[in-house]
Amino acid sequence: MSRRQLLTAALFVLCSVPSTAPAYDPHIHETIAARAVETFRACESGDRRVVAIADAGWLAIAAASRAEDGASWTRLVNWHFVNRSIDSAPYWRIAEMSLVPLFRSVAEELAAAAGNDRFELIGRVLHYVEDVTVPAHVVPAYHGPRAPGMGLERGGFVIKDEVDDYPKTDPQVWADLDKAGICGEAEKMARAHPAVVELLQRVADGTRTAIAEPVPGAAAVTWKSLFWVDPEDGEFFGRYNVPVYDRGELDCANGPGGYFGAESVCGPAGRPLRIRTEVYRDFVRSRLRAAILGDVAVLYQALAPAR
């Protein structure tokens, strides 16, 4: 490594050590993976291949999903964002901003693994699938520790993402999480996308579709138009719609608009429209369900492939 690269690496580490830019909190990753494991075991309780796996294997899967965001050089130089058009995006020749190259590498390791070696790799794959259910990871909009040239539109040493943090600030989001139908949906998804890399893209596309949906009660306002802005041509990162995301300022045609902190968005004819806490909670809950669904599909691929 050249002197310039060493200096760059040192600067990057100084910027990144306080946080490794996770999507969901590591504990939330573990919770999602554990719920996916529980769901999958219930789905396939009659499959001898699944029943034969010891509890230690299942615990290792959930633990590995949590550990993937631990402080390590691999994590510092591999960021977990996905751009629909750009599979590889180096940052200062030190880090890779795109998740895709790392995901492909881990997927290849998993395909070649046998026995207990599979469980840690499965947990890592689950982590990545969970990441791409977070909208800011697939727009993508940079968040995490302040890094040179990154997230310039927002302030703070660590740039926070609301969806990442929401399950911690509102535990009620876990209540009544609808897992009905996940078994059939996940198995169908796994069979339709037998390559795990295809599955990651399918889940990421599902997130993009979800944020293109209108906010309930505001037909002209989508979740994406409210909170995020697509990347410019040739750019890897888009950005947050900062006036709304950070300050709650809305530019409504007929009036001063609302304040998102007071749960308002622009409604029909530009009139402020209230967004209830339950509506936003349901939006995040749908992202958590998508994470569990994607995880269960991975478990079908890895542990109960079609005979």
Give dist(CA 96, CA 1) in Å, integer: 16
Q: Which residues, at least 6 apart from 6, have a Cβ–Cβ distance to it below 8 Å?
A: none
Residue 98 CB neighbour total at 10 angstroms: 22
Amino acid in the structure at residue 275? I
Domain boundaries, the chain: 3-160+170-303
**Would you say 99 and 78 are in contact if contact means Cβ atoms under 8 Å apart?**
yes
Judge whether 108 and 196 are in contact, CB under 8 Å.
no
Spell out the per-residue pLDDT of the chain, length 307, in tens: 454 444 444 544 444 443 445 678 888 999 999 999 999 999 999 999 999 999 999 999 999 999 998 878 788 899 999 999 999 999 988 899 999 999 999 999 999 998 888 999 999 999 999 999 999 999 999 998 888 888 888 878 888 888 888 888 888 889 888 888 999 999 999 999 989 999 999 999 999 999 999 888 776 778 998 889 999 999 999 999 877 677 666 555 433 333 344 445 555 555 555 566 788 889 999 999 999 999 999 999 999 987 6
- Global confidence as pTM: 0.87
In angstroms, rounded to a whole number, what is the distance separating the alpha carbons of residues 158 and 147? Answer: 9
